[in-house]
Structure 1
Amino acid sequence: MAEVSTSSTVANPKKPGKYFPAGWEISEAMPGLLLIVLPILVVAEILWCWEISNKTTYFVDIFIAAVLALIVANVFKIPDRLKAGPSFAQKWFLRLGIIIYGLKFSYSYLAVIGWQGLVVVLVAIAAAVFVSMGLGKIFGLEDKTASLIGVGTAICGIAATLATAPGIKAKEEQIGVAIGVILLWGTLALVAYPAIAVAVHMPTAVYGTWCGAAIHDLPQIVAASLQGGGNDALKAALMVKMIRMAFIIVLVLGMCMYYAINENKESNSQSNLSIALKSVPAFVIGFFIVVLINTFFKIPAAIAGPLATYPASVTPFTLASLLLSAAITGICLKVTHQTIRVAGFKSILVGLIAFVVQSGLVLWLSYMFFG
């Protein structure tokens, strides 16, 4: 009798999509998306709507979603069958959300600001990044955690952190810790900045510039500037903030290339230029293209508004904010108290010092230029 071969063939592993999610990724993620990510997102949006209805916008929906996800991750044990949902949100919603979020940015603001405002912004960005990365090395903090803290402090808090993280191949834990630190000190600024402004009778232009160049997220800037200086301070803060946000793509690309070149030095496999160009994720390129289009062409409000640019007074959420809130939910659901315990104190200290140094330099320059 002829011998029958009993050798088994190894099934090809499931291959994830490169630019779009594969069908199996969607089907596996659906239970977790519906049972964990969606409920958190709904609660976050309800609370965000409640804030708007009460004319208080201290905590935007993405902030609320992050806090809720951190609470869930540290109170409940997520079943294995539901974990694909948060991972899907982190990967795919983040990429699409960042690309669409580019509609909120434009380089046209660079043409209308004076050199003094530009100096303030550049110093603010450089101080946050270099202090965070330098202190990270001194304190023995993971370098990518320190870099993400620096990026979030430098530009626009959570959004900049989320845009940078995939390009430097940061782990979920590193992203979550960095976001937690940024949320902490950004929230503190809501209380501290107006109190300091009132105590020292700070000039309106100085205070507005200080808020716009040093506080992390836009809703926090709006709330703090209005409390401490009124509408005139808000106008100054928003102008400086727009210039600051215009540098997000420069910082994201710079971080991607920095880590790619450093990793290439260790392997010594390709030229630095080649590895740097290959390091830039496709979604970052898409984000940059959207920013350029938004800079040179007038995108109708009927298109840009519901996608990314409608203010909270028109609608409390846009497609970009929903996608990014879902993405941060996926990230923070993986951050437990064990993770925070390992890097918590060092990260908090690095974030605090970077924020204080940045804030101090910006305040000094604001007095020198506008006081």
Structure 2
Amino acid sequence: MIFLIFIVVCLSGYITPPIALLLGLLIANLSGHPWLHLNHIIIHVLLQVSVVGLGFGMNVTDALLSSKESFFLTVASIFSTIFFGRMIGKWLQTESKTSHLISCGTAICGGSAIAAITPVIKSDEKQTSVALGVIFILNSIALFLFPAIGHWLELSQQDFGLWCALSIHDTSSVVGAANKYGAEALTTATTVKLARALWIIPVVLLTSFLFKSKANKIKIPYFIGLFVLAMILNTYVEHLSVVSTYIVSVAKIGLTVTLYFIGSGLSSSVLLAVGIKPLIQGILLWGFIAILSLLAILHFN
């Protein structure tokens, strides 16, 4: 009953994504998630629909400019993160498949990247769960930490949005943190993050080479195409502006509910199952990409 009440609270539009995440964590560790077996499906669908909805509040020209300016930073950060992640994994003696999943999840787009890499390296349920656990724990922290650091450093909207897109693992937390910072930060973060997600394809091919397996199953994030279509419609269909504001408002509420469901899946048993070595690897790798990308953004600007 409390679980459903909290969903209604999230749907009200009066609470922020970080608060929704906290409510989810509260539910997970007190009463439990009644439909935990469906949680990953709910999160997957809600996140994609919400991101497409946000596209109705964005302009194609601004999005292309953001993606163009961040291209080289994106490429450098992805492959340096994977390389450094493998080095940390070997140093800590983290199980190799778990280590690679954490590295790819940190490098590209969190849970989506892990889902794409899993069938290629044939990781088992425990290896995949541990990697997802690490990513979701750090995503939750990022939702609170990044806006605080951004305000402390007095980062511009564009710089903060770019930093989020390069440094926070999952799209949900990227959008949540950027939305809390401001509208321009949200536009930059969402477009750069989704462009970054397309790098799943070359990373899957690289993974198949490293693990000497065939990349028969590449999960391409097709919803990115719908996001682009939403931006095009918002930019060039003048009369759409009448409803686009409402679509974006509903999408932001959808994102809030998504983060509630993410939090509700992070019970104490999930946190304990992660283990110390994978968690240390995730923290060190996250620190590496967050600091490096921030220094690069400040240097070039």
Is the shorter-chain TM-score for this pair beyond 0.5, marking a shared fold? yes
Q: Which amino acid aligns with 1:136?
A: G
**1:350 alignment counterpart:** 281
Determine whether 1:251 maps to 2:187: no
- CA shift at 1:296, angstroms? 10
Distance across 2 between alignment mates of 1:240 and 1:194? 18
Q: Gapped runs of 5+ residues in structure 1?
A: 1-38, 74-84, 262-274, 302-309
Q: Compared with structure 1, are the counterparts of its residues 57 and 128 closer, same or farther at alpha carbon in structure 2 (3 Å cutoff)?
A: same
Determine whether 1:280 maps to 2:211: no
Q: Which amino acid aligns with 2:121?
A: I
**1:194 alignment counterpart:** 147
Determine whether 1:232 maps to 2:187: no
Q: Does the 8 Å CA contact 1:256/1:280 hold for their aligned counterparts?
A: no
Determine whether 1:157 maps to 2:110: yes
Distance across 2 between alignment mates of 1:352 and 1:137? 15
Distance across 1 between alignment mates of 2:16 and 2:79? 31
Alignment of 1:12-51 (within 5 A): 43=3, 47=6, 50-51=9-10
**1:362 alignment counterpart:** 293
- CA shift at 1:117, angstroms? 0.5
Q: Compared with structure 1, are the counterparts of its residues 234 and 50 closer, same or farther at alpha carbon in structure 2 (3 Å cutoff)?
A: same
**1:271 alignment counterpart:** none
Q: Which amino acid aligns with 2:284?
A: I
Cα deviation, 1:32-68, whole Å, max 9, x if unaligned, reads xxxxxxx9xx95x87455324234223889x959x94
Aligned-residue sequence identity (percent) comes to 23
Q: Gapped runs of 5+ residues in structure 2?
A: 53-59, 234-246
What's the secondary structure of 1:165's corresponding residue?
A: helix
Stretch moving more, 207-216 or 287-296: 287-296
- CA shift at 1:127, angstroms? 2.9
Distance across 2 between alignment mates of 1:164 and 1:355? 19
Q: Does the 8 Å CA contact 1:208/1:233 hold for their aligned counterparts?
A: yes
Q: Does the 8 Å CA contact 1:48/1:316 hold for their aligned counterparts?
A: no
Alignment of 1:195-234 (within 5 A): 195-228=148-181, 230-234=182-186
TM-score, normalization: structure 1? 0.57
Q: Which amino acid aligns with 2:16?
A: T
Cα deviation, 1:189-223, whole Å, max 9, x if unaligned, reads 12221221222222222212101211122232233
Q: Compared with structure 1, are the counterparts of its residues 251 and 60 closer, same or farther at alpha carbon in structure 2 (3 Å cutoff)?
A: farther
Determine whether 1:126 maps to 2:62: no
Alignment of 1:250-329 (within 5 A): 250-259=202-211, 261=212, 276=214, 279-281=215-217, 284=218, 287-288=219-220, 290=222, 313=250
Q: Compared with structure 1, are the counterparts of its residues 168 and 224 closer, same or farther at alpha carbon in structure 2 (3 Å cutoff)?
A: same
What number of residue pairs does the alignment pair up? 266
Q: Does the 8 Å CA contact 1:58/1:219 hold for their aligned counterparts?
A: no
Alignment of 1:327-342 (within 5 A): 339-340=273-274
Distance across 2 between alignment mates of 1:252 and 1:349? 24
What's the secondary structure of 1:124's corresponding residue?
A: helix
Cα deviation, 1:255-299, whole Å, max 9, x if unaligned, reads 23432x1xxxxxxxxxxxxx53xx422xx2xx449579769989x
Distance across 2 between alignment mates of 1:162 and 1:247? 14
Greater RCO, 1 or 2 (C-alpha within 8 Å, sep 6+): 2
Alignment of 1:71-110 (within 5 A): none
TM-score, normalization: structure 2? 0.69
Distance across 1 between alignment mates of 2:162 and 2:224? 26
Q: Compared with structure 1, are the counterparts of its residues 361 and 316 closer, same or farther at alpha carbon in structure 2 (3 Å cutoff)?
A: same
Q: Does the 8 Å CA contact 1:117/1:240 hold for their aligned counterparts?
A: yes
Q: Which amino acid aligns with 1:354?
A: L
Q: Which amino acid aligns with 2:140?
A: T
Structure 1 or 2: more helix by fraction? 2
Q: Which amino acid aligns with 2:292?
A: L
Distance across 2 between alignment mates of 1:189 and 1:367? 19
Distance across 2 between alignment mates of 1:47 and 1:164? 34
Distance across 2 between alignment mates of 1:185 and 1:296? 28
Q: Which amino acid aligns with 1:258?
A: L
Distance across 1 between alignment mates of 2:154 and 2:229? 42
Q: Which amino acid aligns with 2:250?
A: S
Q: Compared with structure 1, are the counterparts of its residues 128 and 312 closer, same or farther at alpha carbon in structure 2 (3 Å cutoff)?
A: farther
- CA shift at 1:317, angstroms? 6.4
- CA shift at 1:115, angstroms? 4.5
What's the secondary structure of 2:69's corresponding residue?
A: helix
